[in-house]
Structure 1
Amino acid sequence: MRQRPRLPPWVSLLFRVTLALVLIGIALAGHWYGREGLRDNVDGRISFIDVLYFTTVTVTTVGFGDIVPVSDNARLFDTFVVTPIRLFVWLIFLGTAYDFVLKRTWERYRMRGIQRTLHDHVVVAGFSDSGMEAVRELIARGLDPARIVVVDESESALACAIEMGATTLEGDATRNAVLEAARIARAESVIVAAGRDDTAILIVLTARRLAQDVPISVIIRSDDNEPLAHQAGANVVINPASFAGLLLAGSTRGPHIADYMTDLAAHDGQVALKERAVTADEVGQPLTAITTGIGLRIYRGGEAICFGDPATAALQADDILVEVVKRR
């Protein structure tokens, strides 16, 4: 389990420096108190400067031999007090160097390496319950988890995404720099599940500004905000409450309607909805003549045309077809 550090980095650095100085101060006090057990091989006198010099040299190294402990008490103090202090001080310095220099350098190097390989991936902005279910469904449908980039500010949410195998990026998805770091311009699609409509719409605006041609799907919980999400640039706007209401209303007409709708949407159902472009050999044929599945609807010039409409009697080259296919 991980939690966000409660102290800012400069406070952590100050604490480590203070701890190192306290440990050195303990060694200095001990040497000064037992200075009669030390011998200066240069002038034979032990002053405070000599004790300060001997302490810093002994804590940071094993000493140079110009000042040495000669009494048993001084040698025991160096053995059981100064030596552990030396190890602790070195661990503090090494840990600080790792946290503030090496770790950040290594993370930046890893991030650049991951960014170089990101292409045709799916960016999931927000790892709420809906975002988590979307990632789980994508993986169940065969998408490589490494091609999913989850952007969120919550470390606990990102830890869960990492357990699922996804690539994670900690940050605010409403900011340009964060989405640029996720290489949104090279993404295959974007899923926005921020949990709040205002945040979701702002993410859509930012994403559309950075990636004009990438499909964006967003979850909006208020009917009034659905037009705003479309205006912001979302290709697909999903309202979980409205969809659940449709299923509930449909179930009153028959107990199996909601079950079939769930079957269409889930990865483990017997049938599935598929969207594709009309092939060259299908041009001119009616929608009912396709052999890959059961044609339900075509999209022509942005207009939805349902089966049975006279316009579906002859498919055109630019039509987008929605069909029901049997899942393998």
Structure 2
Amino acid sequence: MPRRDDFSHFLQRRSSVPVWLDLLARVGVIVALFGVVLVVHWIYRDGLHDSLDNRISFIDVLYFTTVTVTTVGYGDIVPVSPEARLFETFVVTPIRLIFWLIFLGTAYSFVIRKSLYRWRMARIQRMLQDHILVAGFGISGSEAVNEMIARGVAPEKIVVIDPSPSRLEEAEKLGCNVLRGDATRDRTLSDARISLASAIMISAGRDDTSILITLTARHLAPGTPISVVVRNEDNEMLARQAGATTVINPVSFTGLLLAGSGAGPHIADYIADLASSAGRVQLNERLATAEEVGKPLGAITSGLGVRIYRAGRPFSFAEPEARALQAGDVIIEILTSGPVGEADL
């Protein structure tokens, strides 16, 4: 990014020190410094002058210490001896600055930063629309995000949710919006404006977690396409029952590549070529245009049509349904990604 108007600007690592202990340590520093100044003022009180009664009591010393470490004083009690003035100049003045830094730092840490975060979070949420939500930034999630960016998706249109600060830091470097949290919770997904997302991709690393995220996401975004990664074949049906539109099993895909390589030395290479933005050819999915309605799939000019989806059912280019495209048909086509010839198709 790094884009400074998104969640990643507020990426923080959770401190191992409890909040109460951090606050107690700050108070301890203030008390210790105040005590040092108070003791020195009391010991060398003869170097001070009170314009009201010409007497310096302990209350006067306490009052003078308080106003000098927090302000520049009011002039009713002043240092008159050279030693007292040197002490005020070289010791009390730096301590006064330290006091103010501690006060401001505490106010920022416990009040201002949270308020600023909430304000900017609300501003970012208002701007989020038609974004892609990625739950889980492990190996699969990070590869998916890199591939989307390589295909031209703007990083600011991607929101990554993950509980790991180190993973979110990597997503931040790519320019994505990031949100640290548990994607199985309604509040986390709602903060990422899931109801306005154009697509949801889930790869939590564990099948049970991924399926639970799918259930939560489908509840909050009934009509949004959801793609989920599961590693156990037995969980594919569960993922679909949870509401997933697309279920991806990387183990099965690896098996397909291995089987293809056994049938011919170039089949696996071509399949990988189709799946990567760096390949010479790419798969593309789109709706049939008005001009294409009534024509056969093989007559499209944008690419090589290989399949259509009609009312959710797939038909290959060789089936009778592909001889006349209808309105609402989804076309799967192969496109060239560069200045290559027809032989590359």
Same structural fold, with TM-score higher than 0.5 when normalized by the shorter chain: yes
CA distance in 2, matches of 1:222, 1:133: 20
Q: Partner of 1:121 in structure 2?
A: 131
Q: Partner of 1:32 in structure 2?
A: 42
Letter in 1 for 2:49: R
Matches within 5 A, 1:117-156: 117-156=127-166
Deviation at 1:261, TM superposition (A): 0.5
- Out of 200, 219, 223, the position equivalent to 1:190 is 200
Letter in 1 for 2:107: A
1:44 aligns with 2:54: yes
CA distance in 1, matches of 2:170, 2:308: 39
CA distance in 1, matches of 2:221, 2:254: 31
For the aligned residue pairs, the C-alpha RMSD in angstroms reads 1.7
Q: Partner of 1:228 in structure 2?
A: 238
Matches within 5 A, 1:43-122: 43-122=53-132
Moved over 4 A (4+): none
CA distance in 2, matches of 1:264, 1:9: 51
Matches within 5 A, 1:288-327: 288-327=298-337
- Out of 186, 209, 226, the position equivalent to 1:176 is 186
Residues 172-199 of structure 1, C-alpha deviations (whole Å, 9 max, x = no match): 1111111111111111111112111111
- Out of 200, 213, 227, the position equivalent to 2:223 is 213
Deviation at 1:2, TM superposition (A): 6.7
Deviation at 1:264, TM superposition (A): 0.4
CA distance in 2, matches of 1:299, 1:224: 26
- Show structure 1 runs of 5+ residues with no match: none
Q: Contact 1:2–1:156 (CA<8 Å) still a contact in 2?
A: no
Q: Contact 1:185–1:210 (CA<8 Å) still a contact in 2?
A: yes
CA distance in 2, matches of 1:55, 1:279: 81
Q: What SS does the corresponding residue of 1:280 show, helix, strand or coil?
A: coil
Q: Contact 1:192–1:203 (CA<8 Å) still a contact in 2?
A: yes
CA distance in 2, matches of 1:312, 1:147: 34
Letter in 1 for 2:135: A
Q: Partner of 1:9 in structure 2?
A: 19
Letter in 2 for 1:308: A
Identity of counterpart residues, as a percentage? 59
TM-score, with structure 2 as normaliser: 0.90
1:260 aligns with 2:251: no
Which of 1 and 2 has higher RCO (CA within 8 Å, sep 6+)?
2
CA distance in 1, matches of 2:324, 2:123: 49
Q: Contact 1:295–1:307 (CA<8 Å) still a contact in 2?
A: yes
CA distance in 2, matches of 1:281, 1:60: 77
CA distance in 1, matches of 2:32, 2:110: 21
TM-score, with structure 1 as normaliser: 0.95
Q: What SS does the corresponding residue of 2:286 show, helix, strand or coil?
A: strand
Letter in 1 for 2:75: G
Q: What SS does the corresponding residue of 2:222 show, helix, strand or coil?
A: coil
Residues 212-265 of structure 1, C-alpha deviations (whole Å, 9 max, x = no match): 111111111111111111111111111111111110111011111111011101
Residues 146-170 of structure 1, C-alpha deviations (whole Å, 9 max, x = no match): 1111111222211111111111112
1:164 aligns with 2:184: no
Q: Partner of 1:18 in structure 2?
A: 28
Matches within 5 A, 1:262-277: 262-277=272-287
Deviation at 1:14, TM superposition (A): 2.2
Residues 102-124 of structure 1, C-alpha deviations (whole Å, 9 max, x = no match): 22222222212211111111111
Letter in 2 for 1:173: A
CA distance in 2, matches of 1:174, 1:63: 56
Q: What SS does the corresponding residue of 2:56 show, helix, strand or coil?
A: coil
CA distance in 2, matches of 1:62, 1:282: 81
Deviation at 1:285, TM superposition (A): 3.1
CA distance in 2, matches of 1:166, 1:313: 42
1:282 aligns with 2:292: yes
Q: Contact 1:277–1:320 (CA<8 Å) still a contact in 2?
A: yes
